[in-house]
Amino acid sequence: MKTVICVGLWLSLCIECWAQTPSRRPLELPAEFAAIRDTIAPQPEEELWKKIPWKTSLLEARQVAAKQGKPLFVWSMDGHPLCLG
Amino acid sequence: MLQNEFIPVAVDGGLMGRRKDPEGDFYRKFANTQARYAAAADGTSLAQKTWVPSPHLNKWMKEALAKFATLPNSSKSPSVDAAEAGKRTSPVAPAGGLVLTVTSRFLKGHEVASVDNEQYAQLPAYDRVWLTRGEWQNLLPKGDAKSFELDAQLVRKLARFHTIDVIGRQRGPWPEASIKGCRLTGEVLRNANGTTDVRLSGSMAIEGTSKPRPNLGPDDGDVKLDLKAAGVLRFDRAKQEISQFDLVVYGPYSKDGRPSEIGFHFQLTGDEAADGVPPWAVDRHHLYGDYPTYYTK
């Protein structure tokens, strides 16, 4: 039993070390730029539109609509709606 | 109701309405301007609204559903020819290329944004960057180089097409002459364990007026950007692919002397529906042909 626990702990340690080797950790931006990146990043309340499973292909949407017997809801803008924020 | 009773689809109506392919033909059966539309899969129009505040949207959708219920099955569930996909005329990302998402936001002084609605001016905006294989390979060091200059044409492409105020999408790419200077250098941090890690740094200076789209009014003023850039890149040598890319470009942005600050974040794109939308410049050039060439290699 003790052996099993020790082997398990050793394996966990190995996995942790492997995950933390430099080539596994994501590279980090300089602090100043990381802060800017975080400011640019959309907040959840700014991306409520992502809760809707928008398709971007009319053909694919038609195929699904025909299969499920549902109507299409088409959001059309001059400029793609999913890119305007 | 939208998710459960409809199949939601978002399109650039300005482009879709002009496409000469089956998708464009289908769109024109029920649509003719930017609006919300409800339509059956055979193109039968159910409802149209140019602007519907939320409470009214529910009522509007219910009315569309009621009309849909009266349609014959041949309209609700028509046969849709899958071969139409092969006739699509929309641009596609280069094979073997790299797609990045660039998110932009005014960090200060959003009042100078190229959009009338103040609420929109404070929101982030998105675009995609499409790089050919030849282009993205120019992000990498050659041989055993420990430091290197990134390909000047590639950096210029990023500056010209992707450091623009896309909020509201009211401007095109910067004219060639507006790029006063742009440079990115790379420093190899590590070359081990099958990956090459690179730190990027540089700057982009843009000055002048932006060429307005033909159907817009007069140019919205003299613009000046003085941006600095920093980023990181990881190349997986075994998979021969870039596994991490983060580039932040930000700095002062002035319009007619009014100061503000703008930021752009470039990163590997995800797999959401929006990530498949072509870059603004590619879409418009593909349709109008009057935008400068997007690819450098």
Q: What are the chain B neighbours of A69 within 8 Å (beta carbons)?
A: 73, 76-77
CA-based nearest residue in chain A for residue B230: A33
Q: Are residues B80 and B127 in the same domain?
A: no
More confident call, A17 vs B267: B267
Domain end position, chosen among B57, B87, B117: B87
Taking 70 as the threshold, does the pLDDT of residue B178 lie above it? yes
pLDDT level of residue B141 (50, 70, 90 thresholds): very high
pLDDT of residue B27: 95
Q: What are the chain A neighbours of B3 within 8 Å (beta carbons)?
A: 51-53
- Say which amino acid occupies B120: Y
B293 within a domain of the structure (yes/no)? no
Average pLDDT over residues B80-103: 90
Q: Which of residues 56-75 of A touch B (CB under 8 A)?
A: 56-75
Cα–Cα nearest to B64, from B33, B35, B23:
B35
pLDDT in tens, B254-293: 887 888 899 999 999 988 877 888 888 887 766 666 566 7
Q: Hey, are the CB atoms on A77 and B6 less than 8 Å from each other?
A: no
Residue whose token pair is 């935008």: B291
Taking 60 as the threshold, does the pLDDT of residue B216 lie above it? no
B279 within a domain of the structure (yes/no)? yes
Average pLDDT over residues B82-108: 90
Q: Are residues B18 and B48 in the same domain?
A: yes
Average pLDDT score, chain B: 86
pLDDT of residue B174: 82
pLDDT level of residue B7 (50, 70, 90 thresholds): very high
pLDDT in tens, A71-80: 999 999 877 8
Q: Are residues B109 and B79 in the same domain?
A: no
More confident call, B207 vs A18: B207
Answer yes or no: are the C-beta atoms of B228 and A29 closer than 8 Å.
no
ipTM of the predicted assembly exceeds 0.90 = no
Model-level pTM?
0.85
pLDDT of residue B221: 64
Q: For A63, which of B30, B80, B230 is closest by C-beta distance?
A: B80
Q: Are residues B70 and B107 in the same domain?
A: no
Contacts 24+ apart (CB under 8 A), B137-141: B138/B297, B139/B186, B139/B198, B139/B233, B139/B242, B139/B245, B140/B186, B140/B196, B140/B198, B140/B233, B140/B235, B141/B186, B141/B188, B141/B196, B141/B198
Average pLDDT over residues B233-246: 96
Q: Are residues B115 and B45 in the same domain?
A: no
pLDDT of residue B164: 81
Percent of chain B with pLDDT over 70: 86
B297 within a domain of the structure (yes/no)? no
Q: Are residues B76 and B124 in the same domain?
A: no
CA-based nearest residue in chain A for residue B18: A78
Q: Which domain holds residue B255?
A: 98-288
Q: Hey, are the CB atoms on A66 and B231 less than 8 Å from each other?
A: no
More confident call, B269 vs B49: B269
Q: Which domain holds residue A62?
A: 2-26+46-79
Q: For A66, which of B16, B80, B127 is closest by C-beta distance?
A: B80
The CA distance from A9 to the nearest CA of chain B, in Å, is 25
CA dist A2 and A14 (Å) reads 18
